[in-house]
Amino acid sequence: MWFSSPMTVSNKPTSTPLHIALTPWHLDKSGHAEDLVRQAEVAEDLGFHSFWLPENHFGDERSLPSPLTTLAAVAGRTRRIGLGTTSYLLPIRHPIQAAEEVAVLDRLSGGRLILGVGRGVQPAMFDVFDIDTREKRRHFRDNLAIMTDAWQGKPIRYHEGEPVLLSPLPVQQPHPPIWIAAFGPLALKQAGQLGAPYLASPVETLAQLISNYERHEQFAREAGHSINIRPVMRTVFISEKPAEVNAVREALAGSGSHAMRGENVDVADWTLLGSLEQVSEQIAHHQQVLGMTHLIARGRLPGVSGPQWMRSLEALATLQQAEGKSA
């Protein structure tokens, strides 16, 4: 249908190597590209699979309203690392303009884009963009259908009897890989029915992820799809110093990030924290119970200094390098 090659899903352990990716661990309040680009260069030098940006609108320095534009700066200074969006928001965009921007970035990067798409959850954003929240799933579905047709060279429309075609087309055909950010049963159902991999919120508990992937697989199977890509976002910190790990654990527990639908859960249920050996075991457990194929390691941890984070990244990179050798 719309999404990449035929795929299969299993909850059983797989011999497929794990791909480990990163999100930024620091966002420059000035909005200058240099800091972000340097982080992507570090990620590439350490051998990580891909570098991912979210989309956020309005508010403070966390606002990142144009992830494709930002990734274009990263594309110009990197050569190998994949470039991903954790949630490029389709309901607020014109589908043809969005298709053009995606195709241009895929061209600029030499076919390195992984397009994570979503609907959005921020009420103020829908209000500003004049989108009825009750219609966001329909807008998402319709826009994605128009975009995928355009990427494959199908006529956008006819003008005076002549077909109007998208140009340029993306390097990756029929289009860049599409993953769908989903939160809640209706979003899971839509992702499964469309035959796209499901990208979960980074603060879902492991038990919730197991349930979500079972639902997603069921919806996909009923629609005639099979999917073998299971990306998981997790907050990751590795240190051989127990005091550093405990400090991060306590900071995360007090941050409120784990408050899901009004429920408080233990930090261990949604993070990967500890020594290299401990985190390696936690990752293996995620692979076993989820069939995890991609781990997107979330940065920007409270109270973690630059040197601490770099030591954590270097340790995580050894796991990625070991996965590469086993491929």
Predicted confidence (pLDDT) per residue in 129-166, tens digit: 999 999 999 999 999 999 999 999 999 999 999 999 99
127 in any annotated domain:
yes
201 in any annotated domain:
yes
CA distance 109 to 112: 6
pLDDT band at 30 (very low <50, low <70, confident <90, very high): confident
1 in any annotated domain:
no
4 in any annotated domain:
no
CA distance 281 to 300: 23
What digits encode the pLDDT tens for the residues 42-92?
999 999 999 999 999 987 767 889 999 999 999 999 999 999 999 999 999
What digits encode the pLDDT tens for the residues 255-293?
766 555 556 789 999 999 999 999 999 999 999 999 999
- Counted domains in the chain: 1
Burial environment of residue 210 by CB neighbours within 10 A (0 to 12, 13 to 18, 19 or more) = middle
**Beta pairing, strands 157-159 & 162-164:** antiparallel
Structural domain including 190 reads: 19-326
Give the amino acid at 73: A
Residue 260's DSSP bridge partners are 263
In this prediction the pTM is 0.92
11 in any annotated domain:
no
12 in any annotated domain:
no
215 in any annotated domain:
yes
37 in any annotated domain:
yes
The Cα angle at residue 44 between residues 240 and 49, in degrees rounded to 5: 80
Write the CATH number for 279: 3.20.20.30
